[in-house]
């Protein structure tokens, strides 16, 4: 194994960790509900010191009552990110596991999305995990020196492997997360830091409700006749979805393995849909999605004048 030599600051944090408790420490973003909250509970149950974060600290009260440490974090704000890791440095001295889970889904046809819609989607889903990971590096390196390794896990999605109508902003953001995760895996390996891509299928959460709230459908949209299909896309991931409490058990198993796998897939259709995308003819796969979300009805509707 390659020796890792710690800079002075990291050596100090490592000494703090050695002199204190030896519990592993995890930090998870986006813990107000769903995957983030369930994973925080599961890791806490397994004995880790868990920092759960969300924009609104009060949303973390149920987790704090169970022994999780709650911290307010706006992942789109660098000052908020810095403050959180200062708190973790004071409380733990190192970080064994970082899970970048915070995100949302911008629903709407591509040509209906505004510049601001796209910027917000990529700011939160793509740029923020990079900035959070960069800010966590001193703590991750301290853990790698003390224990031999640390882990960064980025929550992507199976729709980062294929794209559906009316969710292109979200699908493309998750495809970008997968690509950045691949690069991080190679770039952080010399420092003893494993990087994992979590690719959920359907997992029960408030995600669909939030997607509905962010739905973009202007009055003049060409897609008004298929509004029902657009709203169905906002809720699609919740149909037959796996409970988050069930989803996180194999995910936690995999994250705590040494070494962890490069990719973790779980949840409803997490294997079936990528399999179909890979093996069905592209035209057949597209046609299924066109039909599923009602786009075929537009072929029979009156043509609008330019």
Q: Of 170, 223, 277, 288, which is the active-site residue?
A: 170
Known catalytic residue: 174? yes
- Nearest alpha-carbon partner for 177 in 188, 165, 169, 167: 169
* Contact call for residues 152 and 188 (beta carbons, < 8 A): yes
* Contact call for residues 121 and 103 (beta carbons, < 8 A): no
Known catalytic residue: 170? yes
Q: What is the 3-state secondary structure (H, E, C) of the chain?
A: CCCCCCCHHHHHHHHHHHHCCCCCEEEECCCCCHHHHHHHHHHHHCCCEEEEEECCHHHHHHHHCCCCEEEECCCCCHHHHHHHHHHHHHHCCCCCEEEECCCCCCCCCHHHCCHHHHHHHHHHHHHHHHHHHHHHHHHHHHHHHHHCCEEEEEECCHHHCCCCCCCHHHHHHHHHHHHHHHHHHHHHHHHCEEEEEEEECEECCCHHHHHHHCCCCCCCCCCHHHHHHHHHHHHHHHCCCECHHHHHHHHHHHHCCCCCCCEEEECECCCHHHHHHHHCCHHHHHHHHHHHCCHHHHHHCCCCCC
Q: Of 51, 174, 228, 288, which is the active-site residue?
A: 174
**Which residues does the annotation mark as catalytic?**
170, 174
């Amino acid at each position: 194994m390659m020796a890792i030599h710690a800079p002075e600051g990291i050596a100090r944090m490592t000494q703090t960790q050695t002199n204190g408790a030896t519990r592993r420490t995890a930090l998870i973003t986006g813990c107000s509900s769903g995957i983030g909250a369930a994973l925080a509970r599961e890791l806490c149950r397994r004995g880790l010191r868990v920092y759960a974060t969300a924009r609104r600290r009060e949303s973390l009260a149920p987790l704090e009552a169970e022994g999780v440490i709650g911290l307010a974090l706006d992942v789109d704000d660098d000052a908020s990110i810095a403050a959180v890791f200062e708190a973790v440095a004071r409380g733990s001295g190192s970080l064994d596991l970082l899970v970048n889970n915070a995100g949302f889904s911008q629903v709407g046809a591509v040509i209906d999305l505004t510049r601001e819609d796209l910027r917000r989607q990529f700011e939160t889903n793509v740029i923020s995990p990079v900035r959070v990971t960069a800010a966590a590096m001193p703590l991750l390196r301290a853990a790698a020196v003390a224990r031999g390794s640390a882990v960064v896990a980025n929550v992507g999605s199976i729709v980062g492997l294929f794209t559906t109508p009316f969710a292109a902003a979200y699908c493309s953001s998750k495809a970008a997360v997968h690509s950045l995760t691949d690069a991080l895996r190679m770039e952080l390996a010399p420092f003893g830091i494993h990087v994992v891509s979590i690719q959920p299928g359907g997992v029960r959460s408030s995600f669909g409700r939030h997607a509905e709230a962010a739905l973009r459908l202007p009055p003049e949209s060409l897609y008004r006749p298929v509004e029902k299909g657009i709203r169905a896309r906002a809720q699609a991931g919740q149909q037959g979805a796996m409970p988050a409490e069930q989803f996180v058990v194999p995910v936690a198993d995999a994250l705590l393995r040494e070494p962890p796998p490069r990719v973790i897939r779980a949840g409803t259709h997490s294997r079936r849909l990528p399999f179909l995308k890979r093996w069905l003819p592209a035209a057949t796969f597209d046609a299924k999605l066109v039909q599923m979300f009602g786009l075929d009805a537009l072929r029979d509707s009156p043509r609008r004048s330019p």
